[in-house]
Amino acid sequence: MPGDSEGNAFVSFSTTATGTEIRVRDGVGTHEYTLQTDVPVSLERASPDRFISPVDTAVSFTTSELHLPPDSSVVVRDGHGEHLCQLGPEPREFVRGTYYAEVSPSMKTYVLVPDSAFTGYYRDYDELGTGPSLEFESETRVFLGVRSPHDRPQATITVPDDPSAIATAVSALGSALKEYSCERSWPTLRGHPPAIERGGELHVPDVLEKPDTGVTIALPPTYADVYRVAPLAYYLGADVVTAAGIDPELRLDVGHTEPLRRPGRTLEASVDRLLARCLLLDSLVRIDGYYSFTRYEYDEVAPHLPFYPPELYGESLDAQLMEYLEVPFDVLEPYVPQWPTTAVLRPDPGDVEVVPSLLDPLSRIHVAPADESAGASATGPEHDSNLDSRLFDPTVTAYAGRTPPVGETRLVPAAFENARHQKRNTPSECHLQCFGVDAAAVDAFERIRDTVVASPPDETPTLTTEGLPTRARLRRALAGDADFLHFGGRVTDAGFACTDGVLSPSEVDEVAVSLVSIAGQRDVETLVPLVERGALAGIAHEPASPAEQVGLLAGYLGQTFSLAAAAALGVRTPYRLVGDATTAIAAWQLPIVIDVESVAVDTHRVWYWTEPTDETSLGSILLPTEEFTQQTHSLAGAPAEQSPRVSTDELVEVFEAGFVVRLNGEVYPTSGDLTAETVRRSARRSLDGAPDQP
């Protein structure tokens, strides 16, 4: 009957007064959408076990037409989950059978059509809006299952200032995983961990079901060690226990114990390696699961493994780990995704509340020495990679409670909460605001921006420029609708030097701008209050060539790169970052970098790399469709080498396609200006000091 409501804490369903609209709401976040039927429907609770992929809750109803949310994509699978097609502009008829329609609006949605024939098509600008529809041969009982993106904490754990209590809280963070099989390597099956707050006594809400995966991490009761193992504990759903005088170790119910601190390798390095090992190998084992796509990493790695990955699919987690631990890490290392963020926390209870936000994107966690005077070199992450140093790597290290080293990030916890309210725009919807640049700078800004932002030309961001503002004008701009704001004036410890005085960040009540840029990387702390008041991130860079740098930075941001990647590509003077540097302001196409290493003047190795984003985070796979690629799925963030090697003339065609290219370590924007001779000169310079001549 109209008004019926079903669901659980994660997802709820209800019908409107007419009974022909089904509203689906996310109980954890703010997502919502509506489906339309041709007749009034009555919702009945259904078992989530009917679906081949995990769903939080499900309902059934009878209808002859189902109109899905506008602008959704729909993949149709048979009753065994095998991919059949993606609905396109032309109607597609499906003979009687059982099908799953996988829909991608704001929440993962599955429509189970049991024993029926139907037609899938895209309606075009009717009263329901452009979008996909399913039309059944007769009135049919269909099942609707939905999985929340779970991008916010479901509950809050209270902890006292005690390492053992924090270890108990960390043991409950894995309750956010939708599955404890290798499928958890898919980011959509890893929900946001519960929040943690400091309090007088330990309290873990009953709604959080502590995982039982057969994996335990044992370690001494120190804040530093509990923080260090938190990412691995979350991903494995491990129980974290503490005892004085023991060395950190991984314990499996099958009876195996694996030391996590070895001679010559820190606990941090061991945890980083093990987490990377599990994510990569899980992604190979899951090829026998929900999605059996061909994979670049599978073809490269599987022949060198001591086991056949699909045979491990149904095994217990501890049994899988026993096999994973037998693989030499150097076999896996070239195919591990580049981790976007490593957080460096302080070894005290003050940083415990930021841990769940760091684990949501699966960030690594390291801990600084208790004496901060040890310096940046002592607190940075251990880089454990044999990948060629010329491969693009925009990873950043985020430091809690201190000014970061050059090129790194100041961790500001408020950035994570701000990001939950951010709307990702297309480049044409992005507004870039620049203050305090002269006419020559504006010309360079526009020229470089229009060069960097690839076709179509109507998909470039809007740029507005002004001279140095008054205090009131800058305050209004920071609270305005710009996605990126650059202040080209002088910045001091007191604030922004405007035409009528200095605007202190403490005088700015609200910041709606996503990213803020200033000239003067030593003034990075000025940006911290802006993030605390609403911005997502900021960058402070030396003003040696402001027009070119700001233009490149804005161009790469408009091409959907994160702030960290845009800075790594476009800012050539020292800079520091603040907030969530993995933030991207635009969503339109994949942020792609083509890495090139010349092995001869006319022969080149080529890697295809896509930056992990909040939409394609660690564990996602992507399918390149460009002609020069192998057109095989690969992990987001993992450089995929293309085969065969390409000639100089073939490489110039890649440049003309409008990609960002790193040629022998030097960045070339998508300008199309590179000629074959430019490539050959670069090759000669990089090959054993060969002379730079035609």
513 and 537 part of one domain: yes
Nearest Cα neighbor of 343 from 261, 240, 228 is: 228
SS3 string of 342-409?
A: EEEECCCHHHHHHHHHHHCCCCEEEECCCCHHHCHHHHCCCCCCCCCCCCCCCCEEEEECCCCCCCCE
* Per-residue pLDDT at 480: 94
3-state secondary structure of 577: strand
Q: How many CB atoms lie within 10 A of CB 187?
A: 20
Secondary structure element (H or E) that encloses residue 553, with its range: helix 546-558
Confidence check: pLDDT of 22 > 70: yes
> How, if at all, do strands 156-159 and 195-198 pair?
parallel
In this structure, are 304 and 201 located in the same domain?
yes
Residue 137 structure tokens: 């041969």
How many Å separate Cα 167 from the centre of its chain? 26
Residue reference for tokens 């000629």: 675
Cβ partners under 8 Å of residue 314, min gap 6: none
Single residue among 120, 147, 174 that ends a domain in this structure: 147
Q: What is the mean pLDDT of residues 285-309?
A: 91
Predicted confidence (pLDDT) at residue 372 exceeds the cutoff of 70:
no
Q: Residues 320-346: pLDDT tens digits?
A: 999 999 999 999 999 999 999 999 999
Q: Which of the 8 DSSP states describes residue 306?
A: S
**Eight-state DSSP code of residue 295:** B
427: pLDDT strictly greater than 90: no
585 domain-assigned = no
21-26 long-range contacts, CB within 8 A, separation 24+: 22/61, 22/144, 24/107, 24/109, 24/144, 24/146, 26/106, 26/107, 26/148, 26/149
Q: Are residues 515 and 536 in the same domain?
A: yes
Mean pLDDT to the nearest integer, 646-651: 91
Does residue 361 fall inside a structural domain? Answer: yes
**CA-to-CA distance for 566 and 564, rounded, in angstroms?**
6
Beta bridge partners, 425, equal: 586
Percentage of the chain surpassing pLDDT 70? 91
Q: Roughly how many angstroms between the first and final C-alpha of the chain, as a whole number?
A: 79
Residue 387 belongs to a domain: no
pLDDT at 447 over 80: no
Number of H helices, E strands in the chain: 16, 37
Banded model confidence at residue 458, pLDDT cuts 50, 70, 90? low
184 and 320 assigned to the same domain: yes
Q: Rounded to whole angstroms, how far apart are CA atoms 339 and 333?
A: 12
**Could you tell me which residue, 159 or 652, shows the higher pLDDT?**
159
Q: Does 82 score more than 90 pLDDT? A: no
Q: Residue ranges of the alpha helices (H) in 237-289?
A: 267-285
pLDDT at 303: 96
Distance from C-alpha of 424 to C-alpha of 571, rounded to nearest angstrom: 23
543 belongs to a structural domain: yes
C-alpha–C-alpha distance, residues 210 and 192, integer Å: 15
| One domain, residues 572 and 435 | yes
pLDDT value for 313: 94
Owning domain of residue 560: 397-579
- Asked if 217 and 229 count as a contact pair (C-beta separation under 8 A), the reply is yes
Residue 382 is assigned to a structural domain of this protein: no
Share of the chain above pLDDT 90, in %: 60
Same-domain pairing of 627 and 561: no
Per-residue confidence (pLDDT) for residue 402, from 0 to 100: 93
d(Cα 277, Cα 302) in Å, to the nearest integer?
13
Q: How far is CA 80 from the centre of its chain?
A: 30
For residue 380, tell me if it sits in a domain: no
Q: What three-state secondary structure class fits 443?
A: helix
Q: How many CB atoms lie within 10 A of CB 655?
A: 22
Mean pLDDT of 570-584: 92
3-state secondary structure of 31: coil
- If asked whether residues 604 and 532 sit together in one domain, one would say no
Q: Which of 30, 76, 361, 407 is nearest to 193 (CA)?
A: 361
Cα 444 versus chain centre, distance: 31
pLDDT of residue 379: 40
Averaged pLDDT score across all residues of the chain: 88
Question: Which residue do the tokens 């809750």 mark?
Answer: 57
Count up the domains in the chain and report the number: 4
455 pLDDT above the threshold of 60: no
CA distances to 120, 225, 451, 543, 626 from 651, rounded to whole Å, are 41, 48, 19, 34, 13
In the DSSP assignment, the letter for residue 212 is: -
pLDDT at 450: 64
As a whole number, mean pLDDT of residues 298-317 equals 95
Amino acid, res. 567: A
Are 603 and 573 members of one domain? no
pLDDT tens-digit map of 99-148: 999 998 778 899 999 999 999 998 775 565 678 999 999 999 999 999 98
Residue 219: partners with Cβ closer than 8 Å, 6 or more residues away: 167, 225, 226, 229, 240, 241, 242, 246, 248, 249, 260, 267
b vs e for 279-296, b when ≥16 Cβ sit within 10 Å of the residue's Cβ? Answer: bbbbbbbbbebbbeeebb
Q: Is residue 387 scored above 50 in pLDDT?
A: no
| CB-count exposure of residue 117 (10 Å: 0-12, 13-18, 19+) | middle
User: Using CB atoms within 10 A of its CB, is residue 73 exposed (0-12), middle (13-18) or buried (19+)?
Assistant: middle
- Listed residues 325, 344, 375: the one ending a domain: 375
Looking at per-residue pLDDT, the higher value among 628 and 236 belongs to 236
- Same domain, residue pair 118 and 217: no
Structural domain includes residue 484: yes
CA 526, CA 529: separation in Å to the nearest integer? Answer: 7
Q: Where are the alpha helices (DSSP H) in 453-527?
A: 471-478
What average pLDDT does this structure show over 673-684?
A: 89
Residue 123 lies in a domain: yes
What are residue 463's phi and psi, to 5 degrees? Answer: -115, 130
Q: What is the mean pLDDT of residues 167-196?
A: 95
Burial of 625 (0-12, 13-18, 19+ CB in 10 A): exposed
> Is the same domain home to 496 and 527?
yes
User: Which CATH number does the domain housing residue 536 bear?
Assistant: 3.40.50
- pLDDT confidence tier of residue 533, bands split at 50, 70 and 90: very high
> In this structure, what token pair is assigned to residue 590?
């994949």
Q: What is the pLDDT of residues 465-510, one digit of tens each?
A: 899 999 999 999 999 999 999 998 999 889 999 999 999 999 999 9
For residues 25 and 130, state if they share a domain.
yes
Amino acid at 44: E
Residue 326 and residue 252 share a domain:
yes
Given 345, 375, 405, which residue is the final one in a domain? 375
For 387, residues 6+ apart whose C-beta sits below 8 A from its C-beta are 333, 334, 393, 639
Q: How far is residue 440 from each of residues 443, 444, 548, 552, measured CA to CA in Å?
A: 5, 6, 10, 15
